[in-house]
Chain A
Amino acid sequence: MSQETTIRENLETHIDEHAHDHGHDHHDHHQSFISKYIFSTDHKVIAKQFLITGIIWAIVGGGLSVLFRIQLGYPDADLNWMRPFLGKWITPEGHIAPEFYNALITMHGTILVFFVLTAGLSGTFSNYLIPLMVGARDMASGFINMLSYWFFFLSSVVMAASFFLATGPASGGWTAYPPLNALPQAATGSVLGVDYWLLSIVLFIVSVLLGGLNYITTVINLRTRGMKMFRLPLPIWAFFLTAVIGLLSFPVLLSAGVLMLFDRNLGTSFYLDQIYIGGEALANAGGSPILYQHLFWFLGHPEVYIIILPAMGIVSEVLSVHSRKPIFGYTAMVYSLLAITVLSFIVWAHHMFVTGMNPFIGSIFVIFTLIIAVPSAVKVFNWLTTLWRGNIKLNPAMLFAIGFVSLFISGGVTGIFLGNSSIDVELHDTYFVVAHFHLVMGVAAFFGMFAGVYHWFPKMFGRHLNSTLGYIHFWGTIICAYLIFYPMHFEYMLPRRYPTHAGFDTFGMFAQLNEFITIAAIASFAFQLMFVFNFFYSIWYGRKLRVQNPYHANTLEWTTPIRPGHGNWDGEIPTVYRWAYDYSKHGRDFIPQTEPLSAYELEHGEHGDESDSDIIQHEKHNG
């Protein structure tokens, strides 16, 4: 232990000296473009790399959804105008080929769940905010952090390459269930696409694990003086627990993926049993496709919390800062995050109610699933009470944070329905499920991400985003999101993953509704493109940030220079004396974490009378 402390001190003085030199002589330290922006070990640059890669993937993933929404909304339209860029995936009648439709939804799910909402959200903000908010010069290991990004990049390249395969990318759903995905004969996407998919996911897991190791180590070891765990801002708690979940669940997906690769390429039968193709029995025997589902959802369910926890953390911070009020129930917020973390590991089988599992086991999973509603509701009430009678500043960041709460409630309510196995059996694999998870973890997580981008953009790039475009972006997105997913609840009998419902008389009544949803989806995509324009335009031409602390916020990142260099603080790392949420306290608008407690001032969580009586009791006891 003592050895470790000496190392840390040594490291710190080393960096301190470095930063010192830097301050004295600006020309001593030339970084080439490559070491500064490409193979950078600075957590701030890596965060931006994650963010921009995430944005590119979001455009791709969103674009795919527009394609398949066009097919769903206009099943009879002539789509031959897409032929120049989709080629043979347009059938001679001018529709999207069913195989390609499946590939589109598979890639849409994979890209958004893993590349955008895991890497783009937690990769960006964990990297950016953890060192800045805990008061560290950089991550525990800048090099591993860099590796984390480049593994993600490699994984992206492999996934992108699979689009150009002659047989198309993986098309068996983002969950990649066997046997559909385990047998090359089963679907065109399974010929080669799934191998690319698995390889890409394996690389992605490596990236997540390397990143997560760093986040956890940094939060535990590199907090500045006075930064106790219960003085951490809530985003840091959220990122920390997200990394813990990732570290425990992603290796299980790795196992599942490795077994699948063996089944596909080396003739084993972990997931395969008694399969007939074209009347001929395959040699594979003894496997079980349900085994894959267990392994997959042991990651898959925690994964949705990996997506939503960072958004929750970001929203807690943004709501508090822009209401000029302390976050309501800080400790309850932390414990509810912890509760969600623990519970997320014991609910996975609620994705598998229709696999013929023992109903008794099913009901145990129902109970755990419904228990998750408790910490989630605690958080929702605390957000609402934070807003209550606050001095609310309705800037785009704040609007997106409030929008997050709205969407999280709307999507969460249907979770109660789906968590019950008896109802889930009816609703399984319908558009009701699609509506539920898109609201609660898809759009909601996006709103958390947008709130974070609008809030911290000035810190990241030293310029402001355009607010007018921000307001249009918010209202456009939230209206479109509800127009897409609210009507989808009515399609509770419509099965997912069908390229067209035209052949079924029962579903004819949804034709116009589907068209309506498609129009809303296209509009929503257009608003996102506008945001992307705003984002890149403002990096270079936005209004310049002229003050160090534009929001009058308490947290440490606003004590750094306007454009912080590598090492974050020019001088010494600040010391922390209080929690992050002293807003509107003792008649003062805000009190930064770096300000010592004044005489007779009590820290948050200390109760004057009680602590006094404790002392008295203590003295009595002793004397």
Chain B
Amino acid sequence: MWLAIVAMVMMFAAFTSAYVVKKADVSNWLVFELPVMFSYSAVIIVISSICMQLAYITFRRNRIGLHRLFMVATFFLGATFLVLQVLGWQELKAEGILLKGNVAGSFLYVISGAHFLHVAGGVIALLVFVILAFTRYNKPEDTLLENIHPDKQIGVELMATYWHFVDVLWLYLFFFFQMS
């Protein structure tokens, strides 16, 4: 997982450094405000990341009820993030910043789009973990950690790692766009 994250970091590093190089290079670089929705989505994804961490902690402590609650919360916050991103793009479009237009806009769409896909993948994985959280531990003798094949135990941990990664990634991208 960490190695995969290294690969993804390299991809986004390539995108953003391309952005920096281009910006220094081009005379008609368009400066514009980020859509306000992107700020909301940053807040949402930070909260969802906290929920994911809580879901992981409750998982380790065998608190089935709380684990379920936090998994669901993370999932819905993740989905909300996706909706907010789409709204953000519509806001951009309304301002006349199009994918086809100035390179500055094109970069914003491509980079936030690539991030969107990563989050979308995460949300699908979250859905799987939500379903597992509700189907797996129904017998009274079941606890979260015991009786589960060790392979499955690290699942929640990996999910949390990935989710924090897309969270931090968005914060990085958000401040990166904000600064430049």
- Where the two chains meet, the residues of A that have a C-beta atom closer than 8 Å to any C-beta of B are 3-4, 6-7, 10-11, 209, 212-213, 216-217, 247-252, 254-256, 258-259, 262, 266-270, 283, 285-288, 291, 294-295, 298
| Chain B positions 12 through 35: 1 when the CB is less than 8 Å from some CB of chain A, otherwise 0 | 011100100110011011000000
The stretch that binds A, out of B2-10, B68-76, B169-177, is B2-10
A288 touches B7 (CB 8 A): no
Instruction: Name the 9 nearest CB pairs between A and B, nearest first.
Output: A251-B11, A255-B14, A252-B14, A7-B150, A267-B100, A268-B106, A286-B103, A251-B10, A251-B7
B6 touches A248 (CB 8 A): yes
Residues in B whose Cβ lies below 8 Å from that of A4? 154
Given A6-B150, A258-B110, A286-B28, A266 and B7 touching (CB < 8 A)? no
> How near does chain A come to B156, taking the closest CB pair, in angstroms?
11
A213 touches B150 (CB 8 A): no
> How near does chain A come to B27, taking the closest CB pair, in angstroms?
9
A-B contact pairs, 10 of them (CB 8 A): A4-B154, A11-B151, A248-B6, A251-B11, A251-B14, A252-B11, A267-B99, A270-B107, A286-B103, A294-B21
| Chain B positions 152 through 172: 1 when the CB is less than 8 Å from some CB of chain A, otherwise 0 | 011001000000000000000
> How near does chain A come to B26, taking the closest CB pair, in angstroms?
5
B22 touches A288 (CB 8 A): yes
SS class, residues of chain B in contact with chain A: helix
Residues in B whose Cβ lies below 8 Å from that of A217? 3
A287 touches B103 (CB 8 A): yes
Best-buried of B15, B21, B103 by chain A (most CB within 10 Å): B103
Report the nearest A residue to B157, measured CB to CB: A3
CA gap between A217 and B107 in the complex, in Å = 34
A7 touches B153 (CB 8 A): yes
- Where the two chains meet, the residues of B that have a C-beta atom closer than 8 Å to any C-beta of A are 3-4, 6-8, 10-11, 13-15, 18, 21-22, 25-26, 28-29, 99-100, 102-103, 106-107, 110, 114, 150-151, 153-154, 157
Given A3-B157, A294-B21, 8 further pairs, Cβ under 8 A: A7-B150, A7-B153, A11-B151, A209-B7, A251-B11, A255-B11, A269-B106, A270-B18
CA gap between A250 and B106 in the complex, in Å = 22
B99 touches A266 (CB 8 A): yes
Residues in A whose Cβ lies below 8 Å from that of B21? 291, 294
> How near does chain A come to B120, taking the closest CB pair, in angstroms?
16
A248 touches B10 (CB 8 A): yes
Q: Which of B7, B22, B102, B110 contacts A247 (CB 8 A)?
A: B7
Report the nearest A residue to B106, measured CB to CB: A268
> How near does chain A come to B106, taking the closest CB pair, in angstroms?
4
CA gap between A491 and B135 in the complex, in Å = 71
Report the nearest B residue to A252, measured CB to CB: B14
> How near does chain A come to B63, taking the closest CB pair, in angstroms?
18
A295 touches B99 (CB 8 A): no
> How near does chain A come to B30, taking the closest CB pair, in angstroms?
9
Given A216-B3, A259-B18, A268-B100, A10 and B11 touching (CB < 8 A)? no
B14 touches A270 (CB 8 A): no
CA gap between A285 and B100 in the complex, in Å = 10
> How near does chain A come to B1, taking the closest CB pair, in angstroms?
9
Q: Which of A212, A249, A255 contacts B15 (CB 8 A)?
A: A255
Residues in B whose Cβ lies below 8 Å from that of A258? 110, 114
> How near does chain B come to A219, taking the closest CB pair, in angstroms?
11
Q: Which of A213, A248, A252 contacts B4 (CB 8 A)?
A: A213
Residues in B whose Cβ lies below 8 Å from that of A252? 10-11, 13-14
B153 touches A3 (CB 8 A): yes
Residues in B whose Cβ lies below 8 Å from that of A286? 22, 26, 28-29, 102-103
Residues in A whose Cβ lies below 8 Å from that of B7? 209, 213, 247-248, 250-251
Residues in A whose Cβ lies below 8 Å from that of B8? 251
> How near does chain B come to A555, taking the closest CB pair, in angstroms?
26
A288 touches B11 (CB 8 A): no
CA gap between A289 and B32 in the complex, in Å = 24
> How near does chain A come to B66, taking the closest CB pair, in angstroms?
20
> How near does chain A come to B180, taking the closest CB pair, in angstroms?
15
Residues in B whose Cβ lies below 8 Å from that of A250? 7
Residues in B whose Cβ lies below 8 Å from that of A262? 99, 106, 110
Residues in B whose Cβ lies below 8 Å from that of A291? 18, 21-22, 25
Residues in B whose Cβ lies below 8 Å from that of A249? 10
> How near does chain A come to B111, taking the closest CB pair, in angstroms?
9
Report the nearest A residue to B6, measured CB to CB: A247
Report the nearest B residue to A269, measured CB to CB: B103
Residues in A whose Cβ lies below 8 Å from that of B29? 286
Best-buried of A6, A10, A247, A255 by chain B (most CB within 10 Å): A255
B14 touches A298 (CB 8 A): yes
CA gap between A250 and B7 in the complex, in Å = 8
> How near does chain B come to A103, taking the closest CB pair, in angstroms?
28
> How near does chain A come to B152, taking the closest CB pair, in angstroms?
10
Given A4-B154, A217-B3, A259 and B100 touching (CB < 8 A)? no
> How near does chain A come to B124, taking the closest CB pair, in angstroms?
17
Residues in A whose Cβ lies below 8 Å from that of B157? 3
Residues in A whose Cβ lies below 8 Å from that of B25? 288, 291
A295 touches B10 (CB 8 A): no
Residues in B whose Cβ lies below 8 Å from that of A298? 14
Given A251-B7, A288-B25, A291-B22, A3 and B14 touching (CB < 8 A)? no
A266 touches B100 (CB 8 A): yes
> How near does chain B come to A178, taking the closest CB pair, in angstroms?
13
> How near does chain B come to A143, taking the closest CB pair, in angstroms?
11
Report the nearest A residue to B107, measured CB to CB: A270
Report the nearest A residue to B153, measured CB to CB: A3
CA gap between A255 and B21 in the complex, in Å = 14
> How near does chain B come to A551, taking the closest CB pair, in angstroms?
34
Residues in A whose Cβ lies below 8 Å from that of B151? 7, 11
> How near does chain A come to B121, taking the closest CB pair, in angstroms?
13
CA gap between A3 and B153 in the complex, in Å = 9
Residues in B whose Cβ lies below 8 Å from that of A6? 150
Given A7-B154, A209-B7, A262-B110, A295 and B18 touching (CB < 8 A)? yes
Residues in B whose Cβ lies below 8 Å from that of A248? 6-7, 10
Report the nearest B residue to A294, measured CB to CB: B21
CA gap between A270 and B111 in the complex, in Å = 13
CA gap between A304 and B124 in the complex, in Å = 37
Residues in A whose Cβ lies below 8 Å from that of B99? 262, 266-268
Report the nearest B residue to A267, measured CB to CB: B100
Residues in B whose Cβ lies below 8 Å from that of A268? 99-100, 103, 106, 110
CA gap between A553 and B29 in the complex, in Å = 63
Residues in A whose Cβ lies below 8 Å from that of B14? 251-252, 255-256, 295, 298
> How near does chain A come to B54, taking the closest CB pair, in angstroms?
19
B11 touches A254 (CB 8 A): yes
Given A269-B106, A288-B25, A295-B14, A213 and B100 touching (CB < 8 A)? no
Best-buried of B11, B14, B22, B110 by chain A (most CB within 10 Å): B14
